[in-house]
Structure 1
Amino acid sequence: MRLEGRTAIVTGGARGIGGAICRRYAGEGAFVVVADILADEAAMLAAEIGGMAVALNVTDRKSIDAMVEKVVAARGGIDILVNGAAIFDMGPFLDITEDSYDRQFAINVKGTLFTSQAVAAHMVERGKGGKIINFSSQAGRRGEALVAV
């Protein structure tokens, strides 16, 4: 068990790639915090894998800070952060609205930045380091129809 004794937060962890990461990390021995705006789905997965669910809105810094505080209080520290929260509003380029773009940017970019900052501050303060993992889809490597943003 490569992650035995580690506490890992996975944002966007309730389903999809985030859910798969939660299951894999739990299988490798980590205590997994399923952090997602889909609180009910996060709770179901956390119960399934023996982890903890935290309602998280990555566009809200207060929500991010509250999550970090809750996890640190419950687990004593955070060893791993996986930034999996993301959305893709697909559609023709000429139909993309400012609201849609702003929402995607807030979740996919700002959410990753601010969650990483909050967790990194804890890791530095604790003095044990840690891992922060960011990833994207293969769509970043090549163009796809209806994925202009």
Structure 2
Amino acid sequence: MSSESSSRRVVIVTGAAEGIGRGIALRLAKDGYDLGLFDLPSSQEKLNQLAASLQDEDSVRVVNVLTSVAEEADVKRLVEVVVQELSSLYAMIANAGISINSVLHENNLISVNVKGTFFCYKYAAEQLIKQGKGGRMVGACSIAGKKGMPGASVYSATKFAIRGLTQSAAADYGKYGITVNAYAPGVIETPLMERLDEFHTSAKGLSKDHGQLGLAALPLLNAMDSQRIMSPSWCHSSSLMMQCSLLVNRSYTVDGGCVFD
């Protein structure tokens, strides 16, 4: 291992195989961070392709771990594996989350979005405190965590919960030089949004081509035009949170002006 590679900062990104997580991983690799990428076993092929691309194009070190953030023991193992393979940890981006999973999806929403974020903060903080050099933790909120949305009560509640977790973690870990923030995107053109779109269009009896990606079926888009539907390449805010120690205890809205708070 060269001194150059061993001195690079290491960031874990959960939910990295597609969508926002993938966009964050691409941006952080361009910025020179080594990466621990985490996603479900069903996403192994996508995660392997992403890792190979980052290693070839950006010459970064990448470790893939496959399991669910909803399992505490697996999140603990994630941190341990990344530290063992890449020597240290600088930041945890707890990006993994779901929207609609099944008819009885409430427990899964809470397990993945809320408990998963809590476990990521918990075990990343333990490692960062052990290292004694500070660090960064970032959670995945949403505009649905800033304003309740029709038809999304439990999802919205989980995103409000992430704001609370982030604020409490910032208060708990600030004395160790660890900053904790969250990003709150609006409508992002991702596979998760397409799955959510399919759920709503089916429930309302609309065709899949109803509006932009069928997204007109979503209440949160009533006041938005198509120019405010973003791609995952917006992820500059996560990179900024990695670099600035003065950004603390904030949930940054990135939505083209859809929600004011």
**TM-score, length of structure 2 as denominator length:** 0.50
Structure 2: gaps (5+ residues): 1-6, 56-61, 155-261
Give runs of ≥4 in structure 1 deviating > 4 Å: none
Deviation at 1:137, TM superposition (A): 1.8
1:129 and 2:129 aligned: no
The one-letter code matched in structure 2 to 1:132 is M
Match of 1:14 in 2: 17
Q: Distance in 1 between matches of 2:74 and 2:135?
A: 21
Q: How does 1:4-83 map to 2 (within 5 A)?
A: 5-37=8-40, 38-50=43-55, 51-83=62-94
Match of 1:114 in 2: 119
Which structure is larger by alpha-carbon Rg, 1 or 2? 2
Q: Distance in 2 between matches of 1:139 and 1:114?
A: 22
Q: Secondary structure at the match of 2:149?
A: coil
Instruction: Provide Cα deviations, 1:106-138, integer angstroms capped at 9, x if missing partner.
Output: 000001001111111011111111100113122
Q: Secondary structure at the match of 2:13?
A: strand
Structure 1: gaps (5+ residues): none
Contact persistence 1:57–1:63 (CA under 8 A): yes
Task: Name whichever of 48-57 and 20-29 sits farther off.
Answer: 48-57
Q: RMSD of the alignment, in Å?
A: 1.8
Percent of aligned positions with the same letter in both sequences? 29
Query: How many equivalent residue pairs?
Result: 140
Deviation at 1:142, TM superposition (A): 3.1
